[in-house]
Amino acid sequence: MRHTNVNDCKIIDVRKYTDTRGYLSVVEGGLDIPFEIKRVYYLYMVPEVARGAHAHRSLQQLLIATSGSVEVIMDDGLEKKTFHLDKPWKGLLIPSGLWRDLENFSGGAVLMCLASEKYDAEDYIRDYNDFLKYKGV
Ligand code: T46
């Protein structure tokens, strides 16, 4: 989606159930988030490097730092917005068509992604100038 902007990204409280045994969090596609989940992947044992640096043409995602913390910098070509993910019940809902950089993974961080589509290398825009052209900036 060419017309999305950083203000379309939303932090959501992931549904959680608590009792004396601790916490259980759940995400159901189409119910807690506006898409069906076709793929789950997660990043872990990330050294002091940045990841991401791409946009997706179609993919919608929910990112959750299930352990530790990470910064996600969203960029629509005109504006940037930084989200700090640091709780297993805090999710960042990302619509398609936005550039993201992932930085400052804490030690032991695990970043889980619930994705709206199966893997498709063609869905990625990995060159920032191509991204700006795509957004018409
Ligand atoms: C994203 C951030 C949060 C696959 O073969 N299948 C997959 O489903 C995925 C996600 C990746 N790969 C392969 C492609 C690359 O050879 O795994 C390798 C590393 O992927 P990438 O360089 O895209 O990793 P990140 O951390 O830059 O980005 C990933 C996701 O690709 C991306 O969708 O939003 O995590």
Asked whether 51 lines ligand 1 (CB < 6 A), one says yes
At residue 2 the predicted structure's pLDDT band, cuts being 50, 70 and 90, is: confident
Q: Give the other-Cβ count within 10 Å of 34's Cβ.
A: 13
| Nearest residue by C-alpha to atom 16 in ligand 1 | 121
Active site (catalytic) residues: 54
Q: Check pocket membership of 113 for ligand 1, CB cut-off 6 A.
A: yes
The mean pLDDT of 124-137, rounded to a whole number, is 97
Q: Per residue in 39-83, pLDDT tens?
A: 999 999 999 899 999 999 999 999 999 999 999 999 999 999 999
Q: What is the mean pLDDT of residues 93-105?
A: 98
CA distance 100 to 45: 19
Which pLDDT score is estimated for 1? 64
Q: 43 in ligand 1 pocket by Cβ < 6 Å? A: yes
* Both structure tokens of 90: 């805090």
Residues sharing a CB contact under 8 Å with residue 120, sequence separation 6 or more, in sequence order = 58, 59
Query: 75-86: per-residue pLDDT in tens?
Result: 999 999 999 999
Instruction: Note the pLDDT of residue 16.
Output: 97
pLDDT in the model for residue 58: 97
* Residue from 63, 104, 113 whose mutation best tests the ligand 1 pocket (most atoms within 8 A of CB): 113
Going by alpha carbons, the residue nearest to atom 32 of ligand 1 is 52
Residue closest via CA to ligand 1's atom 22 equals 52
Half-sphere exposure of residue 32: CA atoms within 13 angstroms, side-chain side: 20
Q: Please, which pLDDT band fits residue 6 given cuts at 50, 70 and 90?
A: very high
- Separation of alpha carbons 128 and 117, rounded Å: 22
Q: What is the pLDDT of residue 94?
A: 98
Q: What digits encode the pLDDT tens for the residues 12-40? A: 999 999 999 999 999 999 999 999 999 99
Q: What is the pLDDT of residue 100?
A: 98
